Chains A and B, each alone.
Chain A
Amino acid sequence: DAKTTQPNSMESNEEEPVHLPCNHSTISGTDYIHWYRQLPSQGPEYVIHGLTSNVNNRMASLAIAEDRKSSTLILHRATLRDAAVYYCILRPHNYGQNFVFGPGTRLSVLP
């Protein structure tokens, strides 16, 4: 499985934008980039995914580098409720339902 690397932890102030980076230099052409987050005492929840183009949804934006070797999850205005562990995951096209979580980034949001 292709690997991802993320910072162990990040801090943000409430109501400010947050950019969470992910490196995936061994990504192959058909791998999808998924982001999930896990709030304290909850199961992971889907945030966003993309293949090549930047993506937006109600929760976040995903910016994908042109060479696809890195991506950035953007929370436009962090709230206290966004404090969580954020996981960047690659899913190959012939994925066989494997879903490998990396260590993730623990985001703290300061009031």
Chain B
Amino acid sequence: DTVLTQSPALAVSPGERVSISCRASEGVNSYMHWYQQKPGQQPKLLIYKASNLASGVPARFSGSGSGTDFTLTIDPVEADDTATYFCQQSWNDPYTFGAGTKLELK
């Protein structure tokens, strides 16, 4: 299975820029997607196919990368962005998710 590795946690101050990384154990082309999950809620799509902003998602969110290395960037970070962020690949079978990066605000 394709393993997606994310850093476990990050802490930033409101107004700053934060980059959340996701590294795949094998190539996934550009079929990497990003989700935001707040406690007790379902995941919400932010970015699809590496760099495409999902409908209704603020332009503060952006994505980049291809192959094995991907990044989700939030600039500027707002208090409401406190959540866990998951990457997910749909190039290789089975679909897999990263373990999530918990973003906390200082």
The finding on whether chains A and B are genuine partners in a shared complex, rather than unrelated, reads no
Interface residues of B, Cβ cutoff 8 Å to A: none
Interface residues of A, Cβ cutoff 8 Å to B: none
